[in-house]
Amino acid sequence: MNPLSSTARTRLGRYPERSSADRSVLHEILDDGMICHLGLVVNGSPRVLPTGYGRLDDTLYIHGSTGASSLMEGPAQDICVTVTHLDGIVLARSLFHHSINYRSAVIYGTPRLLDGDDKLTGLRAITEQLAPGQWDVARRPTRKEMAGVTVLALSLDEASVKIRQGPPSDDDPDHDLDVWAGVLPVHQAFGAPDPDPLLRSGIPVPGHIARRVTS
C-alpha cells in the first residue's frame, strides 16, 4: 500500500508526532466507525453535518442526501470528511495536561456523484458499515428508492490520521502531587435489540445483530 501523502492540508501543525503515514491505520480508523462528519462550504460559510459512510479499498462512500443539495448546485467543490473515535479521557495531575485519547481521520477531496451500479456498490458499503449482514436479509432498494438517495464517492488520496493513546504526560514535578492520574477508557456499546412494535410474531433477532450486543 502507498503511504499517506503529505500535502499542505494534511500536514499536522500541532503534535506532528501524533500523525501516521501508514495507510492501513487510516483504513482501520475508517472501518471502526459508523458515522462521519461531512464538511462543506455553503455561501462562504462552513457547514458540518453527520452522515453515514462506508469504505472499499481507497474509496470512501458517503451518504450525501443531507448535504448534497448544496454540493450539486454549481461547480464541483471540495469537501472534508472526518471520522473520530473517542477512546479515553486522559486525567492528569495538572489541568493543563488533561486530554483525550482518540483516533481521527481527515480526508479532503472533490467527491463524485454516483449512479447506476456504482451507486448500488456505494450504498451497499454504507449499509454494511452501519449494519453488517443486513444487505443480504433486507429487501433491496427499488429503482424509485435508489433515485431518492444520494451517494458520493471520495478518493482516500489526500488524508491524514492523528492518534493519541497512553497515559497522561504530566510534568515531572507534578508526579509528586497527591492527585490520581490515569485514563478513563471510553467505547461505544450496543444494548439489547428493541423490536419494532409492528414486528410479526415469531421472528427472532438474527445472529448477526444479536452478536453485536455488548451489555
For position 127 contacting a second copy by CB under 8 A, the verdict is yes
Identify the residue among 64, 108, 122, 153 touching a second copy (CB under 8 A).
Answer: 108
| The three three-digit cell numbers of residue 204, written as one number | 427472532
Bridge partners of 100, per DSSP, are 89
- Residue 140 CB contacts under 8 Å (≥ 6 apart), including other chains: none
User: Considering only residues 59-98, where is the footprint of a second copy by CB under 8 A?
Assistant: 65-66, 69, 78-82, 84, 86, 88-89, 91-96, 98
Handedness of CA 109, 115, 118, 123 (dihedral sign): positive
**CA dist list (Å): 136 to 34, 100, 132, 165:** 19, 38, 9, 37
Question: Nearest distance from residue 196's CB to a second copy, in Å?
Answer: 4
Question: Nearest distance from residue 24's CB to a second copy, in Å?
Answer: 21
| The three three-digit cell numbers of residue 66, written as one number | 443531507
Identify the residue among 5, 22, 47, 72 touching a second copy (CB under 8 A).
Answer: 47
| The three three-digit cell numbers of residue 200, written as one number | 410479526
For position 131 contacting a second copy by CB under 8 A, the verdict is yes
Name the residue nearer to a second copy (CB basis): 21 or 91: 91
Q: Select from 21-29, 54-62, 111-119, 191-199 the region that touches a second copy (CB under 8 A).
A: 191-199
